[in-house]
Amino acid sequence: MNRVELELYLNDTLQIAQFRDYCPNGLQVEGRPEVRKIASGVTASLAFLEAARDWGADAVIVHHGYFWKNEDARVVGMKRRRLGVLINNDINLFAYHLPLDAHPELGNNAQLGKLLGFADDGGRFGPDQLGWLGTPAQPTTLGALAAHVAATLGRTPLMLGDADRDVRRVAWCTGGAQGFFEAAIAAGADVYISGEVSEPTTHLAAESGVGYLAAGHHATERGGARAVGEHIAERFGLEHKFFDLSNPV
């Protein structure tokens, strides 16, 4: 399909105008006008771009793209090498940050909840209502839920709290959303699942009694870009491949 048509469809579907983000959402690097093969991944790292190039991608869709606020604007070093792969091979880069977290079906939070078997009860919390609330498939404990997360994501989460604590309501927000923990507690969660953890998180979990699972930034955000790529491929008859590069974080 035509690149402009793809861009307009993605921007409209992910409703990028609704978000004040830390980076530009949408087409970040322009490539060839016709798109037949799309590669998706979490981050537009050099390793990902080289894998997409070798596969023959015309466009890539990622959650973590470029041009973040307050970053060095010079095209040198790592940035030059990454942009060089895109420009020299005429590959389009589409990147969606907060819009890809928030989408009710294709987003990272929607996909993580679905993968872990949580029933979305419609509750939302935090900035831009990015945090989700729901219930596990059956009543469980913090320890049992941590084991389920580990088995499902292939990464053992850092668990804060009493392993025997009953869990009936779950809050989650993918990536670096440990700052939403207090909002999750206020929303009535028994446990909060996010990607990362900070030093104050330990004290907040201990003093509130609410459990916390830091399941990995990369591990919790693999769903969104993949879902968007699969959706685009099915809707427009394109070829798609998701590249899940190993990342311990």
Q: Which CATH number describes the domain made up of 108-219?
A: 3.40.1390.30
Write down the pLDDT at residue 92.
Answer: 98
Within 13 Å and on the Cβ side, how many CA atoms surround 95? 22
* 3-98 and 108-219 have identical folds: yes
CB 133 within 8 A of CB 171: yes
- Check the annotation: does 50 bind a ligand: no
Provide the β-strand partners of residue 134: 120, 170
Q: How far apart are CA 35 and CA 31, in angstroms?
A: 9
- Check the annotation: does 221 bind a ligand: yes
User: CATH for 3-98, among 3.40.1390.30, 1.10.10.60, 3.80.10.10, 3.50.7.10?
Assistant: 3.40.1390.30
- Check the annotation: does 97 bind a ligand: no
Q: How far apart are CA 53 and CA 93, in angstroms?
A: 12
Write down the pLDDT at residue 7.
Answer: 98
CA 33, 34, 37, 40 dihedral sign is positive
Write down the pLDDT at residue 96.
Answer: 98
- Check the annotation: does 190 bind a ligand: no
Write down the pLDDT at residue 186.
Answer: 97
Q: What is the 3-state secondary structure (H, E, C) of the chain?
A: CEHHHHHHHHHHHCCHHHCCCCCCCEEEECCCCECCEEEEEEECCHHHHHHHHHHCCCEEEEEECCCCCCCCCCCCHHHHHHHHHHHHCCCEEEECCHHHHHCCCCCHHHHHHHHHCCEEEEEEECHHHCEEEEECCCCEEHHHHHHHHHHHHCCCCEEECCCCCEECCEEECCCCCHHHHHHHHHCCCCEEEECCCCHHHHHHHHHHCCEEEECCHHHHCCHHHHHHHHHHHHHHCCEEEECCCCCCC
- Check the annotation: does 240 bind a ligand: no
Residues 6+ apart with CB under 8 A from 62: 40, 41, 42, 43, 44, 48, 93, 94, 95, 96, 225
Per-block mean pLDDT, blocks of 10 residues, the chain (249 long): 98 96 97 98 98 98 97 96 98 98 98 98 94 96 98 97 98 98 98 98 98 98 98 98 94
Q: How far apart are CA 98 and CA 128, in angstroms?
A: 9
Q: Where are the domains of the chain?
A: 3-98, 108-219
Write down the pLDDT at residue 38.
Answer: 98
Query: Which amino acid is it at 201?
Result: T
Write down the pLDDT at residue 21.
Answer: 95
Q: How far apart are CA 51 and CA 120, in angstroms?
A: 35
Residue 239: which of 249, 229, 226 has the closest Cα?
229
The token pair that represents 211 in the structure block: 């459990």
